Amino acid sequence: MLNRFLDHIKRFDLLEEGSTVLIALSGGLDSAVMTDLFVKSEIPVAIAHCNFGLRGKSSVRDEMFSKKLAAKHGIPFHAKKFRLGGKTGKKISGIQEKARKLRYDWFEELCSGYGYGCIATAHHLDDSIETFFLNLIRGTGLKGLTGIPVKRGNIIRPMLFATRNEIERYAIDQGLKWVKDESNDSDAYQRNRIRHHLIPELVKLEPGFRGIMKKNLEQARMALDIQDLFTDGLMKEYLSSSGQHETVIALSRLKKSPHAASFLSALFYRLQLPLSFTESILKVSGSGRKFMANGRVLLINRGMLHIRKMEEKIQPDELIVDENTGQLMLDTGLLEFYKLKKNREFVPVKETGVHYLDAKKLVFPLMVRPWKAGDRFRPLGMKGSRKLSDYFTDCKLSVFEKEKCRVLLSEGQIICILGLQIDDRQKISSSTTTILKLKYHPF
C-alpha cells in the first residue's frame, strides 16, 4: 500500500518538494489510513479537523480522536467548530453543500496563514465511482463522468488508487484505530443509497466491476483532455471577443458548419451555459432574441451571440448636474466636466468620448438619464431631428450597447449622447466664449 501511495503521488506530481501537506482528517477509516501513509512516507504534514456538531457526542469523540492521533505523531493540529444554522427540515443536500464550502474555505485560510502547500483529502476509488453515478443521475456532461479529480487547484487526492476494501484491510493489518461515522450507514444520503444498493448489484453482475470502472474513469479523463484541446480550437475560431464583461460568438459563421450544434454545445460547456439552449439559439433568425441562463444574458444581434452577466441597477434613472459638478459616476462609466475659455488658438481635439458644447446655450441644472423610446435629437451637421433608435441602427449598435447609452439634457432637450454625438444646436461656433468639455469613460 505504501509503495502504491508513493507511486500515485509521483505519477500525478501531487507534491512540491519541501512543502507541507494539510491533511483533512475526519477520524474515519480513510483519513486515518491516509495519515498513517503520510507519516510513514516522512512527508511534512499538518492536520485539520472540522467539527460541525451534527452528531452530538460522536462529533466531540471524532475531534478528540483526531487530536490524539496528531499528538501521537507530533503533527501540528488545527480544529474548528462550525455552526451551520438554517431552519429545521432543511434538505440534507443543502446542509452538505454549506458544510463543504465552510470546510474548504477554512482549509484555504490555514494554507494561507501557515504556508501549507496543499490540502489532502482521503477520497478513494469507490468514492470516485459513486461520484460518477451521482453525476450520471444528475445529467452532468463529460466532466462529471470523470469521477473525482486527482488534483484540483491545491487540493490533492492521494488515495484515489485504492478501493475501500483495500484501505480497510491495510488498517486491520497495521493495527490502526479509527472512528466510525454512523451517517455512512444511513440511506438518507443519495451517495449512500448508491453505495449500499446499486454498486453491490453491479459487482454481482461483474465481479471485476471496480477495476473496469477505474479504466472507464481514466478513459473519460483522457476524452475530456481531448475535448478541452478541441474546444480551445473552437474558441479561437468562433470567439469574436472575450473579456471581463462580454463574450461574443460569431454565430452566423458557426451556423455554416455541418457540426454547428456540436460546436456550440462544446463552447457552451466551456462557458458553463446550459446545453439545452443550443438548439433554440441555432433556430433563431434575425436579431434581438434574448435568453437568460446562469445569471447571464444571451443576445443574438447581427449574426453574433453576445453573452453578458446580468447587471443589477445601481443608480437612479435620473442624475442632476449643477454648474459645480466636476465628475459624475454613472452605472455605465465616469463623466467628467471641464469649463474652458475659448480663444483664437483653441482647436477642438478629436478624441473618443470627448465632446465640446457651447456653455452659454446650456441651462443648469442638466440631467443625465438612460435614453427612452421616442427620444429625438439633431445629429451634428444635420438640420432636421432624428429618433435615437434610428441613429443607433445607423451606428450598428447591439442591443447591449443601446441599453448602456446615456443622454445629457438641458431643459428637457437632449444635448449629447454620451460617447457618441452632440446635438447640432449645442455646437461651438465663432461666437462661443465659454466651452463645456465633456469626457466620458465608459466601463
Amino acid at 94: G
The whole-angstrom separation of Cα 141 and Cα 130 is 16
Asked whether the beta carbons of 353 and 332 are under 8 A apart, the reply is no
- Determine the Cα–Cα distance for residues 165 and 124; give it in Å rounded to an integer: 10
Residue spans per domain, the chain: 2-219, 243-309, 319-442
Q: Alpha-carbon distance 84 to 314, whole Å? A: 32
Residue with cell 435614453: 371
Arithmetic mean of pLDDT, 3-21: 95
As a whole number of angstroms, the distance between CA 322 and CA 302 comes to 39
Q: In DSSP terms, which residues pair with 292 in a beta bridge?
A: 297
**Which one is predicted more confidently, 310 or 12?**
12
- What is the model's pLDDT at position 311? 66
Whether residue 267 is predicted with pLDDT greater than 60 in this model: the reply is yes
What pLDDT sits at residue 179?
95
Express each pLDDT in 39-62 by its tens digit.
999 999 999 999 998 778 999 999
Statement: residue 78 has pLDDT above 60: yes
Report d(CA 423, CA 313) in Å as an integer: 28
pLDDT for the residue numbered 316: 64
**Model confidence at 94, in pLDDT bands (50, 70, 90)?**
low
> pLDDT (tens digit, 9 = 90+) per residue, 345-389?
888 888 999 999 999 999 999 999 999 999 999 999 998 999 999
CATH 3.40.50.620 is held by the domain 2-219: yes
Compute the chain's Rg from CA coordinates: 31
Higher pLDDT, 275 or 355: 355
Confidence of residue 132 (pLDDT cuts 50, 70, 90): very high
Average pLDDT (321-334) is 88
The arithmetic mean of pLDDT across residues 183-211, rounded, is 92
Residue 38 CB neighbour total at 10 angstroms? 21
Residue 15 has pLDDT above 90, yes or no: yes
Q: What is the pLDDT of residues 144-189, one digit of tens each?
A: 899 999 999 999 999 999 999 999 999 999 999 999 988 788 888 8
Alpha carbon distance 81, 241 (integer Å): 46
pLDDT tens digits for range 414-431: 999 999 999 999 999 999
**pLDDT, position 93:** 53
Segment 427-438 mean pLDDT: 94
pLDDT of residue 90: 47
For residue 320, pLDDT over 80 is answered with yes
Reading the block at residue 401, the C-alpha cell is 450597447
Highest mean pLDDT out of 8-12, 90-94, 298-302, 398-402: 8-12
User: Cα(297)–Cα(308) distance, rounded to whole angstroms?
Assistant: 5
pLDDT over 90 percentage in the chain: 66
Phi, psi of 122 (to 5 degrees): -95, 30
pLDDT of residue 275: 82
Q: What is the mean pLDDT of residues 88-107?
A: 75
pLDDT in tens, 206-265: 999 999 999 999 999 999 899 889 989 999 999 887 666 789 999 999 999 999 999 999
| pLDDT tier, 343 (very low <50, low <70, confident <90, very high otherwise) | confident
Mean pLDDT of 328-354: 88
- Comparing 105-114, 326-335, 372-381, the range with the smallest average pLDDT is 326-335
d(CA 46, CA 332): 48
pLDDT of the residue at 92: 53
pLDDT band at 89 (very low <50, low <70, confident <90, very high): very low
Q: Are 231 and 252 in contact (CB under 8 A)?
A: no
Q: What's the confidence (pLDDT) of residue 276?
A: 79
Mean pLDDT value across the chain = 91
Kindly indicate the confidence band of residue 315, based on its pLDDT and cuts at 50, 70 and 90: low
Residue 241 confidence (pLDDT): 74
Q: Which 3-state string (H, E, C) describes the chain?
A: CHHHHHHHHHHCCCCCCCCCEEEECCCCHHHHHHHHHHHHHCCCEEEEEEECCCCCHHHHHHHHHHHHHHHHHCCCEEEEECCCCCCCCCCHHHHHHHHHHHHHHHHHHHHHHHCCCEEECCCCHHHHHHHHHHHHHHCCCHHHHHCCCCEECCEECCCCCCCHHHHHHHHHHCCCCCCCCHHHHCCCCHHHHHHHHHHHHHHHHCCCHHHHHHHHHHHHHHHHHHHHHHHHHHHHHHEEEECCCEEEECHHHHHCCCCHHHHHHHHHHHCCCCHHHHHHHHHCCCCCCEEEECCEEEEEECCEEEEEECCCCCCCCCEEECCCCCEEECCCEEEEEEEEECCCCCCCCCCCCEEEEEHHHCCCCEEEEECCCCCEECECCCCCCEEHHHHHHHCCCCHHHHHCCEEEEECCEEEEECCCEEEHHHCCCCCCCEEEEEEEEEC
Output the pLDDT for position 87. 45
Rounded to 5°, angle at Cα 135 from 131 and 137: 120
- Give residue 199's pLDDT band: very low, low, confident or very high (50, 70, 90): very high
For residues 110 and 116, give the distance between their C-alpha atoms in angstroms, rounded to a whole number. 7
Nearest Cα to 413, choosing from 421, 405, 423? 423
Q: How many residues does the chain have?
A: 443
User: How far apart are the C-alpha atoms of 331 and 210, rounded to whole Å?
Assistant: 55
Q: What per-residue confidence (pLDDT) applies to 313?
A: 54
319-442 is classed CATH 3.40.630.30: no
More confident site: 77 or 294: 77
Question: How would you list the strands of the sheet with 413-417, edge to edge?
Answer: 319-321, 366-370, 406-410, 413-417, 421-422
